A and B are shown apart, each in its own frame.
Chain A
Amino acid sequence: MHLSETTSSGFFFLAPWLVFAPLTGLLINVIFSKWFKFSEKMVGTVASLASGAAFVVSVLLAYSVSINHGEMMRWRLAEWIHVGTLNLDWTFRMDSLSTTMMLVVSGVGTLIHIYAIGYMHEDVRFKKEEGRFTRFFIFLNLFIAAMMILVSGDSYMMLFVGWEGVGLCSFLLIGFWYEMDTLARPSWANSNAAKKAFITNRVGDFGFLIAGFLMFWYLGSFQFDAVFEAAPEIAHSQPWVIVAITLFMLVGVAGKSAQIPLYIWLPDAMAGPTPVSALIHAATMVTAGVYLVTRSAEIYTLVPQAQYIVAMVGAGTALFAATIAVGQYDIKKVLAYSTISQLGFMVAAVGMGAYVAGMFHLITHAFFKALLFLSAGSVILGMERGHHHLAHAHAHHDEKPKGKKSKKEDHGHDSHEDEHGEVFDPGDMRNMGGLRKTMPVTFWLYMIGTLALAGIFPFAGFWSKDEILLDASLHFKSVYGQLTLAAFMTAFYMGRQVWMVFFGKPRHDAAAHAQESPKVMTVPLMVLAVLSVVGGALNLPFEGFHNLGHWLGYTLAEVEALPLDLKVAGISTVLALSAIFISWLIYGRNPLKAGQIDPLKKPLGFLFTGMENKWFVDEGYFALIINPFKKLSAFLADVIDWRFWHDFVHDTVILGTYNWLSEVALTQYADQKGIDRFANWLGESTQSISVTMRKVQNGFVRSYALSVMLGVVLILGYLIFK
């Protein structure tokens, strides 16, 4: 291990511990938790400490970068691949961009680890699988390690290792309750969601790989600086190469960061436990695509066409997903589409070249979306507790209260089905209402998250979203229009959600008996809430306050520090406030009653049906790709493989030919008529020759002598006349 750059003061030697710290936690839990019978608290503490250690290392690395005036540092851990002209080392790269990502990942990650101790404690009990508690934290630590590899790698290949690693963790954690659906009924729904996420990401990874191969073929390296150095020349001589690289990379980004057309996996990913949704599918992993584009800024700046496409994809996703979020009833689904929409904001920002704005929104979004998801988890568990409480009360007192919930669940009190076969969904907002009173802490935390996401002054989301909008208004008018509309809808669906969940009257007995979550869950939320409030201070649009811009300016060239534009900020604030007001008119003034259909359904008609059903995109994929694919594979399997290949080629042609060959051609003709005959002929002719020849040996010495004489005469004759 040695520094490949000039030696400098700082804690750069700690870099490998970014990865090793969570791996250590993971190994401790894997190896020792069974032997020493770790309690749940112990497992959670080990995992949280491991993640916390990664955070401490990140802080020290960021500090070291700052005292070296933002100079980029490398720390080579090991040789990796040295083949031909390909020279890859396992090198950690520390600059202002990667340390920012490290801080976000490990910081938010640690808070979510702590929260998960409380959350999973109850979750495993509701689902009656207490043994899975440890497994969850092992996966979570593995995720932190993979994410650290992703953000700290010095080459596209190392980034790709992390990229695949987080994809694996995502798969494992979405399918954490793999043998049930989200309502704990036996089903393969969760594992199907996991497979969907993994396979959709494979499509994106294919794009990433193509981009990597093109990069190696034309630019000769995977290492960031070498690629950036070689790119301008190629961009001049063969511009299509750079366009292809950036666009294939965009496919990877669309897969990992859930952009059109590959976003479809993210809503289904909500099948994972809520801390997973918060950590992986909101705050960190899905932002990897944004990080990738920012990291590749020097390539993207070379090809404005590609940048334009990236920005349009981002803006389109932001608007499209926002419309779907309006029509959702599941508390986590709303947040999932909101995440897709916000990722669209970030991708649009980095597509426009507003890398600082994109990263800024990435950070603040990590804060408030983690906050929202975790609070939603708290709400869901609160509902579960209420449901559980009711079931218990009924089971013990055998009372017969009015309503359809009587005498339910004598056997399994945490199954979600009652005697009518009706299913209680703790995540359905139509079952909630009035939770403001039963879960006050969660309510206030949720409000902070909502206001930050809606972009209300002075919460973090306001500053970061505004910076993106401002940049868009200066450079891409169409993107600005789409993003503003998306921002309006963001405020609307968040308002709708808050009115439906926390206000009005409980629409289900479980909501009436919902209980607040314990401190281990709410305290990390408070930290996130504080960050969501003050996070905007990272990069205020005033002279001298562009801290993040200045900091990232060490790594990224051409960082513009835009001043506050009152017009843009005013428009978005007015729109956000009016959206919340409209949502109050619809959902707040006359709260939804149990069983009532959504009041938006009537005025919007088929539009709302579209929103409700996610614009039938999944169905479209089924009709366009999956069903034809299934038919094709059925055809290939049944007709081509089974009937043609197996029955015809194997059984008829090959087996038949073989049988004919062995039984007829070889046995009858070659063997019996060929070889046997020859052998018999040999034997018979030998016999007949010997019968003839024995007459020569007649015992007369003189006839022998005559033969000798004749032989001599012949030989001599030959010698003389030859």
Chain B
Amino acid sequence: MVPVDYYIILSAILFTIGALGVLIRRNPLIIFMSIELMLNAGNLAFVAFSNMHKSFNGQIFVFFVIAVAAAEVAVGLALIVEIFKTKKNINIDEMNSLKG
């Protein structure tokens, strides 16, 4: 059986990749993917700990996270489509009209 440490290390690596992706990339689609990556890093950690503790709580949380992520992607993609319609562009650095 694979020790839980490996799962946690993998989860951390995935989360770091996702976070760097959010910070570095300009394409909102890629950013969404990176967010998904971070969420799934969390899911992986949940599942790993759930297995370790012999408890289903973590897995139930994972279901919720997957549901929320699906909803979020649906809303996010819809927003991006709308932004593209008005700006003909989806460069994230140009979406800064809310600054103070």
Contact = CB atoms under 8 A, between A and B. Distances in A.
Interface of A: 694, 697-702, 705-706, 709
A698 B99 contact: yes
A706 B25 CA distance: 12
Nearest to B22: A705
Which residue, A694, A702, A705, A709, has most C-beta atoms of chain B within 10 A?
A702
A698 B23 contact: no
B99 A699 contact: yes
- 4 closest residue pairs by CB, A with B: A699-B96, A699-B99, A697-B100, A694-B100
B23 A706 contact: yes
A702 B99 contact: no
Contacts of A705: 22-23
B19 interface: yes
A565 B24 CA distance: 144
A670 B26 CA distance: 57
A701 B98 CA distance: 10
A129 B34 CA distance: 120
A698 B95 CA distance: 11
A699 B23 contact: no
Contacts of A700: 93, 96, 99
Contacts of B86: none
A441 B97 CA distance: 131
Interface in B7-64: 19, 22-24
A699 B98 contact: yes
Contacts, number: 26
A697 B96 CA distance: 10
Contacts of B95: 699, 701
A700 B94 CA distance: 8
Contacts of B24: 702
B81 interface: no
B92 interface: yes
Contacts of A699: 95-99
A605 to B, nearest CB: 119
Interface of B: 19, 22-24, 92-93, 95-100
A702 B92 contact: yes
A336 B31 CA distance: 126
A701 B19 contact: no
A707 B91 CA distance: 20
Given A699-B95, A702-B22, A705-B23, 10 more contacts: A694-B100, A697-B100, A698-B99, A699-B96, A699-B98, A700-B93, A701-B92, A705-B22, A706-B23, A709-B19
Nearest to B19: A709
Contacts of B92: 701-702
Contacts of A702: 22-24, 92-93
Nearest to A702: B23
A698 B99 CA distance: 5
A451 to B, nearest CB: 124
Nearest to B24: A702
A690 to B, nearest CB: 10
A701 B23 CA distance: 9
A697 B99 contact: yes
B25 to A, nearest CB: 9
Contacts of A694: 100
A107 B98 CA distance: 114
Nearest to A694: B100
B22 A698 contact: no
A705 B19 CA distance: 9
A707 to B, nearest CB: 10
Nearest to B99: A699
Contacts of B23: 702, 705-706, 709
B91 to A, nearest CB: 11
A694 B100 CA distance: 6
Contacts of A701: 92, 95-96
Nearest to B96: A699
A91 to B, nearest CB: 94
A698 B23 CA distance: 15
A699 B22 CA distance: 15
Contacts of B100: 694, 697
A697 B99 CA distance: 6
Contacts of B19: 709
14 contacts: A694-B100, A699-B98, A699-B99, A700-B93, A700-B99, A701-B96, A702-B22, A702-B23, A702-B92, A702-B93, A705-B22, A705-B23, A709-B19, A709-B23
Contacts of B99: 697-700
A709 B35 CA distance: 13
B24 to A, nearest CB: 8
Contacts of A697: 99-100
A694 B93 CA distance: 18
A309 to B, nearest CB: 103
A82 to B, nearest CB: 82
Name the residue among B93, B97, B100 with the largest chain A CB count within 10 angstroms.
Answer: B100
A509 B95 CA distance: 134
Contacts of B97: 699
A570 to B, nearest CB: 131
A706 B97 CA distance: 19
Contacts of B96: 698-701
Nearest to B26: A702
Contacts of A698: 96, 99
Contacts of B98: 699
Central interface residue in B24, B93, B97, by most chain A CB within 10 Å: B93
Nearest to B95: A701
A705 B92 CA distance: 13
A684 to B, nearest CB: 20
A715 to B, nearest CB: 15
A121 to B, nearest CB: 107
A701 B79 CA distance: 15
A702 B96 CA distance: 10
A279 to B, nearest CB: 104
A709 B34 CA distance: 14
Nearest to A706: B23
Nearest to B20: A709
Contacts of A709: 19, 23
B32 to A, nearest CB: 12
B81 to A, nearest CB: 18
B42 to A, nearest CB: 13
A102 to B, nearest CB: 104
Nearest to A693: B100
**Most central of A697, A700, A701, A706 by chain B CB within 10 Å:** A701
A698 to B, nearest CB: 5
A720 to B, nearest CB: 13
Nearest to A698: B99
A705 to B, nearest CB: 5
B21 to A, nearest CB: 10
Nearest to A696: B100
Contacts of A706: 23
A191 B99 CA distance: 96
Nearest to B35: A705
A706 B23 CA distance: 6
Nearest to A703: B23
A195 to B, nearest CB: 89
B67 to A, nearest CB: 23
B89 to A, nearest CB: 15
A4 to B, nearest CB: 94
